[in-house]
Chain A
């Protein structure tokens, strides 16, 4: 009944949208006489925003970190990023075209973005075939099997990454040493990440400045805090994301590790700043946790979400057996997002003050 009604409402709009109508209009065969007026409910104007514009803004925001990745990891970074982007787009197309037999949405840029984010979370000496498997999991399993963009409960790129981490732990945890414009790919010299060093495996720890610039071992796109922060500022200016999730994650990690450090500096020797600058925290907080689809729908919920990610990250890092916990933390909180959305409502206008 509702649908019938709305169907009626949109009839003239569809007519006007059809290519046939546009062709006729272009050929001057349709005069817009009074009986062809569009009748639709208000509003009659639109901001002009689109899915692609949002995805484009995130892609632009990733450029500094991408350049940093290319600088530190050279050829390998180039190969895995292109492999991931291409395979994500191709998988999305094939699945939509031949499995679902519907229209394709690869032009909205979301598959491209998933590909790039996936590669950011991978070591740059990962063999191409593993990258392709990761893309298939990200697009095929984490995104398309739930109904495509907007319906996936978990961040696709992270699902891809975590799948690879569990399936190929050796390859996924040998990171190449940062060498400017490194021409080596699979045979790149490896280095330990600072977090692994802390878990007692190696000895030399890079300086804070190097950590900030990104001169350390790690996944391709996560190393340079500086570059990621530039992207963050861009996203804030463009109002693509709000500050709530990234800031609450970073603040929670900083405060939580700071308390641990103060309480027992012997046992928890790592400074809070070090926690902020290492591993995938910046990348995760700014680009992975803020994924529209899998994060809460209002500022209050976002703060809770970010707080949860921060706590879980620190717990895994400090007490768990994996050196890094951001990906797991985000996926766990993704699972809580629907619950947060039901329980936490935005601030209403004229909300009765609690007595």
Chain B
């Protein structure tokens, strides 16, 4: 069975919420919809205090190319536009909407019927995706339309679909494939049309056998879609790792996947594409996994953007007594939250409640030069070296050691027997080296 060839680890899976049907999270009394994105420019509000909005109405407009529109997830009245804490730990501009009823825009097709035929042209599809605020739902929230428009001179040859879900605990993509497999595959054909390719590969890790067999059965009714079971290994969901696993090509350092002709999209994104193109529905809700070792009702919830995480966690049985850390996202790359007031954003794939006794890091010891971090690194870097360079502010050396290649997967810190916080230091160095590179390019 295929997998990527360099580095990687195999953390315990703990997929408690696997196979649990998607439930609808209740609509909050007030939705707080963040306008910022982790990547790219923030959206600019196009509504004002006191405005009445319907579900699906645009409330934030993209600023610039790498940015995305934001739509109302609830109907009601705009209470105010103010800053609110988001998962990154910063306060970002957000639209506060007091909820009245649940009135959708009339243009949205709410029926459950699956529409396979797509009559739009490639340009129309891409415009729709951009208008309807579709971003990568795997966590990075990179605007999807940007990936569909290759730089001049480049042409995509294959669409690679990420159904890997390599993070422990999370099951939102898994469950989506089980329940909305056909819609996802229609989404695949739509994107294949948009970027004009004849072939698509859907990579799914082998711990989701039910999803693999279901999708394989469904794929027979489509043309050019191959379902590829992959050996379980983290970080297979990383774009470069997935491309390596699926078509055996390594994206050259410093370039984008399009260099090897690949466009990668996550299954949840494809479902959103399907809804946008076939159902006229902007992106205003997503599946969120709520899980943790001590939690009572693990689950996968369909939640409107802007729902406070506390509400959904409450629905899943409430915060367990012994919780010591709350993470938005998976345990390998998610962000620790200071509060459950944070609301569901486009990139919120899950909430993980970690018991206090497992939450604290152990004391770090000397590096024993065991090479386990080097072996684990999927990018072929030397984390122990980068960490010591970062501690000594050796930025030029770090750049030469290719710190910018680091995908911040955390395999190094995970594997280190001396509990060294490798990624913390590497991330810090990476941010400084990144700044240095940007100022150098600006001067040119």
Contacts and interface: CB of A to CB of B under 8 A. Distances in A.
Interface in A21-52: 25, 31-32, 34, 36-47, 49-51
Interface string A326-341: 0000000000000000
Nearest to B322: A32
A350 B415 contact: no
B361 A150 contact: no
B253 A352 contact: yes
A172 B12 CA distance: 50
B324 A38 contact: yes
B321 A32 contact: yes
Contacts of B372: 49
Interface residues of B, number: 79
B424 A45 contact: no
B160 to A, nearest CB: 16
A238 interface: no
Contact of B367 (A9, A110, A150): A150
Given A34-B340, A349-B250, A45 B414 contact: yes
Interface stretch (A214-222, A247-255, A292-300): A292-300
Contacts, number: 189
B333 interface: yes
Main secondary structure on chain A at its contact with chain B? loop
A42 B356 contact: no
Given A32-B324, A37-B336, A349-B250, A46 B368 contact: no
B206 to A, nearest CB: 21
A271 interface: no
B361 A105 contact: no
Nearest to A295: B369
Contact of A44 (B240, B331, B338): B331
A295 B410 CA distance: 25
B52 interface: no
Contact of B423 (A43, A147, A345): A43
Contact of A47 (B9, B333, B358): B9
Secondary structure dominating the interface of B:
loop
Contact of A298 (B327, B340, B363, B374): B374
A13 B423 contact: no
A46 B362 contact: yes
B359 A44 contact: yes
A31 B321 contact: yes
B93 interface: no
Contact of B336 (A25, A44, A54, A295): A44
Contacts of A350: 240, 250-253, 255, 405
B253 A2 contact: no
Given A32-B324, A43-B414, A346-B382, A5 B356 contact: no
B428 A349 contact: no
A79 interface: no
B371 interface: yes
Contact of B361 (A46, A349, A351): A46
B417 A42 contact: no
Report, nearest first, the 10 A-B pairs whose CB atoms are least far apart.
A43-B410, A150-B366, A348-B380, A16-B360, A49-B417, A45-B331, A350-B253, A292-B370, A44-B331, A349-B379
12 contacts: A16-B356, A43-B333, A43-B410, A44-B332, A45-B414, A47-B417, A49-B415, A54-B368, A345-B382, A346-B382, A350-B240, A350-B405
Interface of A: 2-3, 5-6, 9-10, 13, 16-17, 25, 31-32, 34, 36-47, 49-51, 53-54, 105, 108, 110, 147-151, 242, 292-295, 297-298, 345-352
Interface of B: 6, 9, 11-12, 89, 168, 240, 244, 250-253, 255, 319, 321-327, 331-340, 352, 354, 356, 358-363, 365-372, 374-375, 377-382, 384-385, 390-391, 393, 401-402, 405, 408, 410, 413-419, 421, 423-425, 427-428
